Amino acid sequence: MTESITDYTAQIARIRKLAQEKDVLILAHNYLNDEIQALADITGDSLALSIAAAETDKSAILFCGVHFMAESAAILAPEKTVLLPNMEAGCPMADMVTPEGIEKMRTQYPGAPVVAYVNTTAATKAASDICCTSANAVKVVNSLPDKEVILVPDRNLGSYIASRVDKVCHLWDGCCPIHDELGADKMRECLSSHPDAISMAHPECIPEVLEQVDQVLSTGGMLNFVRNSSHSTFIVATERGIACQLRKDNPDKTFIFPDYEFICEDMKRVTIDDVESSLNTFEHRITIPEDIRRDAHRALERMLAIPRD
């Protein structure tokens, strides 16, 4: 039998009380399990959560997400305690590029600035010129005066950006294993079974999937788009955790996922017991050497300085 959020009511109340007493802001990514999204102060995409971390006046941030997200919070809010409830929650894509790899690209394409997707380690961000998220990637790249850019680490997001900007884009050959494995055929089947649905895909999907859909959006972008749409049925090509907010915000709308196991195991590693334990023990604290933090901060701040829509 699967649990529903009501099975967690008492534990959620306990966690909320603890967080208040200890002056902790709880952030949760849109892919987390429903009960975690239910207990968070703020749920959102990578960009929204980075902004929330940078702006909070709470003394600690408990990040329900993967390691690079908690690192971004620690980079942006160095005076705060940043907690990741489960240190096993990583992102395979974030480990696909290193500072050494970036230096190689710089030697190959001298003068081209490096745009690092936020799904990277602090050290990789520190070695880059500016960060982007899936919500602002095209805008970030267009903000640069250069005619050539280096985009790391996601080849799929990179080729999507390249198709939308008038610049020469040099791509690192990394990917999100979960989004990358959704095949074009699965997407085609889903679209032909639901011809009246509006389709959305995350830019981490392969180009052959992206070219079939109506909208290419970040997870936050999908939530906004559906909220403001008069359509009733949507095909959603991203991690299934997003269904929690989609259904909560739009109880009368229907959401269809392609026939594919769209689950990021890393995003599901943070359990409600981990959250409660982390609040009690104040572990695991994310710390970053100050020289790396300072350089990574410059790249993230440069991104955040770009006016938002």
Q: Residue numbers of the site for ligand 13P (CB under 6 A)?
A: 30, 45-46, 119, 133-135, 176, 202, 204, 218-219
72: partner contacted, choices ligand SF4, ligand 13P, none (Cβ within 5-8 A by kind): none
Binding mask 85-114 for ligand SF4 (x = CB under 6 A): ------xxx---------------------
What are 258's two structure tokens? 């392609």
Considering the rule CB under 6 A, would residue 176 count as an interface residue with ligand SF4? yes
What are 51's two structure tokens? 């902004």
What are 155's two structure tokens? 């080849």
Relative orientation angle of helices 290-304 and 46-55, to the nearest 10 degrees: 110
226: partner contacted, choices ligand SF4, ligand 13P, none (Cβ within 5-8 A by kind): none
Considering the rule CB under 6 A, would residue 136 count as an interface residue with ligand SF4? no
Judged by CB, which is closer to ligand SF4: 19, or 47? 47
134: partner contacted, choices ligand SF4, ligand 13P, none (Cβ within 5-8 A by kind): ligand 13P
H or E stretch covering 301: helix 290-304
Considering the rule CB under 6 A, would residue 119 count as an interface residue with ligand SF4? yes
CB of 165 to ligand 13P, least distance (A): 19
Q: Which stretch binds ligand SF4 (CB under 6 A): 49-57, 134-142, 165-173, 262-270?
A: 262-270
Q: Is the dihedral of CA 242, 247, 250, 256 positive or negative?
A: positive
Judged by CB, which is closer to ligand SF4: 130, or 267? 267
Judged by CB, which is closer to ligand SF4: 46, or 199? 46
Considering the rule CB under 6 A, would residue 264 count as an interface residue with ligand SF4? yes
Cα angle 175, 289, 293 (rounded to 5 degrees) comes to: 60
Cα separation, 243 vs 221, in Å, equals 14
92: partner contacted, choices ligand SF4, ligand 13P, none (Cβ within 5-8 A by kind): ligand SF4
Contacts of 116 (CB under 8 A, 6+ apart): 97, 102, 124, 125, 127, 128, 130, 131, 132, 152, 153, 299
Q: Which stretch binds ligand SF4 (CB under 6 A): 132-140, 162-170, 173-181, 213-221?
A: 173-181
Considering the rule CB under 6 A, would residue 45 count as an interface residue with ligand SF4? no
Cα–Cα nearest to 172, from 124, 212, 133, 126: 124
Exposure of 240 by Cβ count < 10 A (0-12 exposed, 13-18 middle, 19+ buried)? middle
Cα separation, 199 vs 241, in Å, equals 17
Cα separation, 201 vs 183, in Å, equals 12
Residue ranges in contact with ligand SF4 by CB under 6 A: 66, 91-93, 119, 176, 178-179, 204, 239, 264, 266-267
